[in-house]
Every structure is written in structure tokens, then in C-alpha cells.
Structure 1
Amino acid sequence: MKDFFVSYNRADKQWAEWIAWTLEEAGYSVVIQAWDFRPGGNFVLDMQRAAAESQKTIAVLSESYLKSSYTQPEWAAAFANDPQSLERKLIPVRVKECKPEGMLRPIVYTDLVGKSELEAKQTLLDGLRPSGRPPQKPAFPEIGVGKESTYNQPAITEPKSFPSALSRVQQIKEKSLQQRLDSLTADYEALAKQRDYTTNAADRNKLNRQLEAIAEDMDKVAIELDGLGK
């Protein structure tokens, strides 16, 4: 069983890979779509297997993640297995400005927004420790100096490149494609329900053809989105 399943939206792929690389460098085992879901596999089954075979789920929080219909089942599965957060099955990591609502709101998240790469690495790894207690005795406070307590931290080798801001054009295109994918998903689900209640064979065949066409469009949009993240 893996230590972590990294759940993310395509718009935050670079952040997700950086997090996954940093965790593996620190000795953790990780499952992430970008590396572990290969052509020919079943995306939905791969997601289900990754969530079920990982001890914890890291949710890479951003507005794109919170609004996506695909990411909700991923964090919800971890939440359902630990609704009181006693085992910390769901660990949110905020990488962009956003405000979690609903059942995500009371869960304490690790905040990487506005931090340098070194600060982000240390904050991420500190957030995964079972306790916030430092491994060594904190330094005695120096009166009037205002220095913070320090203690030795484990050395960390360089991970994947730290995420930089995407260009405005790419952000707009990704947002447009994500909205298109969400719209197609909603159409597909509505049409599938309509088909399930249709008894006429000819009408069912017509609906099946429409569903196949929508599924093809979804695949095209998903491929284009994945290409933007590379």
C-alpha cells in the first residue's frame, strides 16, 4: 500500500508533481495520475484503485480543484473513511488562493501560498508529521531580539522544478477547456439518466449514439488539457 494518493486538477499538475517528487525524496511512496496512469488503462478504475490502495489522500487545493466535478469523489472517498479526521486520511494542501467550503472547510490545510521553495518544502513535510512537536529542544528565546526557535531539519535533495506562475493566455485556455469538460460531463450524466428510463429500443439506440459522441468530445478535451500541463 502506498503512503499517499495525490489528488489534483489538471490546472495544478505542476504543483502536484512537485509535491509528489518532494514526498518521494523524503522517503514516502506516492501515487499520482501524471506518472502512474498509463495509456490503455481505465481512468475511473485507476482513480478508484489509487484511492483505495493509499493510506492517505493529499488534495491539492485551488479554485480549479474545488470547482471540478472530477476531483470531488477523490477527496470525498478519503473523507468518508475518516469523517472525524482522527487518522488524517485527507490532507489538504493549498497551493493557490481559494476558500474551501462545505465539509472541506473545517479540515486544517497545509498552506504553501506565497512561500519560497525552501519554505514550501519544509511546510509540506512538517504538515505530514504525526505531531508538531520539534525533534529537538527549541532554542531559548533571546529577549528583545525576536528570533524564532530553530532546530535541525533533515536534508532534502532538490525535487522537480518549483511551480512558477502560468502565462495569462495558458490560464485562460485551461479554464475554458475545464469548463467545457465539466459541461460535457454534466450533459453525459443527464443523457445517461434519460437513457436508463427509456424503454423504447430505437430511442435507447439513439441516446447511446449521442452518449458515444459526447464521450469522444470529452476524450479530446481531456487530451488537450493534459497537453497544456506538460
Structure 2
Amino acid sequence: MLSFVLFLVAVLLIVVIIKILPRRAWKWIGATIGIVALISVAIVGYFQYQEHSQEADRKANLMAYARDVAFYASSHRWTATDIQNSPHATPQDVEYAKQHADELKDAVWMPDIEDYAKRARKVKGLTSLYVSTYTNRWNKNAVHLTDKGIEGVADVIILSDNYIVSEWEAKELADQGFKDSVFVKYYSLDGSRIYSSKKGKWIDSDTKSKAVFNTANEN
């Protein structure tokens, strides 16, 4: 209602101004309005172009991201079919998913995995790398420890029951306070050093520890 009243007031002011001003001033007013209109069109066009570019980039990033984290989807059964039920999904996202169902069938939905990476995995100084650059990401996982890590070592490989702990399980270990547990072993990326919870520092892996690491790494 207020908007309509303001519109009427604006129209009335324009009529009054036209009545007051001489005719020769109208051409300048018309030219000014034309310039303003052109500038407005240019601004609107610019923002539409930016929006289109951002949407194109978003879709391109989605496809690239889908390829990178397909292993996560296959492990956790999060696929593009979950998009329609995702609280993050917009109507445009859902429509895009419908049109590209085959391409996205093994993909994790980006906002979900980003939320996983940024928030859900950050617990007690432990954050999992959802794309590991340290080991074979298909079946072995390095883990990144936030802040100073363990005694200054931020990137480690965790073994539990002589098996390499997955990124997903690493969060559970952090939640349950397994940092100093004798049942959970923290190795350097090459397995040459191991964190001793008893001594509270990193030590060189002995023959047995090195063999355990190698066996887990091969499996």
C-alpha cells in the first residue's frame, strides 16, 4: 500500500514539474531520462551477466567437484538423488540435478560436502581431508590435524586395530578422545615415525610398528 502511494506521489510530482517547466526544457529532461535509462539497462545487464557467469561457474565447479569426491559418495551412499531432499538445495539445484541425473549419479552434493569439510569434521583439533593429497584417496586416507597438530605434526595417517582409519572414522575417534589411546596409532605419512602416547612425543618407528604400517598401507 505504501509503495502504491509513493508511486502516485511521484507521478504527481512529475506532472507538476512538466507543467511548470517551459517546453524547451523538456528535451533536456528527455535526454536526461534517456541517459539514465541507458545507464540502468547497462547496470542491469552487467548484474545479469555476472549472475549468469556465477551460475555457469557454479555448475562447472559442481561437475569438477563431483569427479573429485565420487569416492566419498560411493563410501557414504550420498548421491545426486539426495539433492531433492537436501535442505541446501534450491529449486534451480533440483532442476539441474534432474537434467543431469546420469552425470551426477555418483556425485556428492556440493553444499553437503562443503559443510562436512568446514564444520562437521572440525572436532577437537581434528579435521579430515575429504580429498587427500598424501595417499591413494580411493582406499587410504591421510588426516589433517588443525592448529599445531600433534607435537607440531599436522598431517598424519591413523591406524586403529592395525587398519588405516578412514576420514569419516577419524572424526569419531576425535569425538571419543582417542588422541592418547594406545589402541589408536598416529604415523607420519611415510610411516617412519610414530606418536608415542606414553612418552608424549614422536619417536622413530621400530621394526614391528613399521611392519604394521606397511601391512595396513598395502591393504
Q: TM-score range by the shorter chain?
A: under 0.3
- What is the TM-score when the length of structure 2 is the normalising length? 0.25
Which has the higher relative contact order, 1 or 2, with Cα contacts under 8 A spaced 6 or more apart? 1
- What is the TM-score when the length of structure 1 is the normalising length? 0.24
Structure with greater Cα Rg: 2
